[in-house]
Chain A
Amino acid sequence: MSRQTRQVGGSHRGLDMWLLQRASSVYMALFLPAFLVFVLLDTPLDHAAWSGLFIPLTMKVSVLLFIAAVLAHAWIGLREIFIDYVHFLLPRLALYFAFAALYLACLIWAVDILWSVN
């Protein structure tokens, strides 16, 4: 019966994932209201003003950080769901990699969008 204790264990991946999820949620919680206030103060909000918001480097970086936080948060959440419900190694690995690739693509795409504004 002690098979299960040898089956898993040693993989110290629990804490860093959990911490990263907490940290990303803190950043999102701080960024979103600040961003909203920043946008609402910038009236009238036409297309020129909207794209003008994203010209400063600080804005580009903080928005990119926000997107990275969303993606990291979502990926860890998905990983939790896969660990809970997808018990076979191969489909689980496939799902991990599929979503990691998808989210990385989203991140690169976000960089492209943000830095196309100038």
Chain B
Amino acid sequence: MRFRIYRYDPESGANLENKPWMQDYEITFDPRGKKVLDALIAIKDTLDESLSFRRSCREGVCGSDGVNVNGVNVLACVTALEGLKQPIEIRPLPRLGVVRDLIVDMAQFYQHYRAVKPYLINLDPEPENERLQSPQDRAELDGLWECILCGCCTTACPSFWWNPDKFLGPAALLQSYRFIADTRDQATNERLDFLEDPYRLFRCHGIMNCVEVCPKGLNPLAAIGKIKTLLVKRAL
């Protein structure tokens, strides 16, 4: 199988004037039943131990191996090799700074995540046991809590590419709505206040790249739409 992988080594001052380059690899590998991550690990084990990438759980739960394969953001561990056009081009997630090879600097992404206060804000005295919810209220959170923060959606979003420091991006907005939708949360107004400016939420133009690439099949655009509805309800 043929691969073309983005390489960048910040320490190799002499190498190509410290610029990133695309490196070709050819490896005998039976793609049946295998994922992109299996090939990356095989390349690292047999051809080039300097190839760097993140991975942890290897089964689409931890969200650490988001990469761009043939132009589409995916989790390498759950993307089948079969059917991919060769040479399979693997690049780091777009728009974020590259630390090394396929490893990106997620600081901006997490900053937006922290900015939406992704935790329950409830000023009532803590109950003896847990804060209860009806099954219906709990169902509101389905399609929101499953996000693994892999960054595939946000880095696929052109609005994030143009304003990465100001537009929160689909992942953070999905998490924001996860707590807005939570009946136990008491900070809905403050959360909506935070989102009501020209950038944080309203840079979303409904391009839907986020929906297309989400490896967990979530729909950040729908969450953004629900936030807009709440903003309108509140304003009128």
Contacts and interface: CB of A to CB of B under 8 A. Distances in A.
A8 B194 CA distance: 10
A4 interface: yes
Given A8-B166, A10-B197, A15-B232, A1 B107 contact: yes
B203 interface: yes
A11 interface: yes
A4 B163 CA distance: 11
Interface centre among A7, A11, A84 (most CB of B within 10 A): A84
A19 interface: yes
Interface of A: 1-2, 4-5, 7-19, 80, 83-85
B111 A14 contact: no
Where chain A touches its partner, the secondary structure class is helix
A15 B231 CA distance: 7
Contact of A85 (B162, B165, B196, B231): B162
B121 interface: no
B197 A12 contact: yes
Given A13-B197, A14-B197, A14-B198, A80 B232 contact: no
A84 B197 contact: no
Interface string B205-236: 10000000000000000000000100110010
B207 to A, nearest CB: 11
A17 B107 CA distance: 31
Ordered nearest first, which 6 A-B pairs have the shortest CB separation?
A: A14-B202, A84-B162, A4-B165, A14-B198, A15-B231, A12-B196
Contacts of B201: 14
A91 B165 CA distance: 20
Contacts of B165: 4, 7
B192 to A, nearest CB: 10
Interface string B174-213: 0000000000000000000011111111110100000000
A9 B202 CA distance: 12
A15 B235 contact: yes
26 contacts: A1-B107, A2-B111, A4-B166, A7-B166, A8-B166, A8-B199, A8-B200, A9-B194, A9-B197, A11-B197, A12-B196, A14-B195, A14-B196, A14-B199, A15-B202, A15-B231, A15-B235, A18-B202, A18-B228, A19-B232, A19-B235, A83-B199, A83-B203, A84-B159, A84-B163, A85-B162
Interface string B77-113: 0000000000000000000000000000001000100
B21 to A, nearest CB: 29
B202 A8 contact: no
Contact of B198 (A1, A7, A83, A85): A83
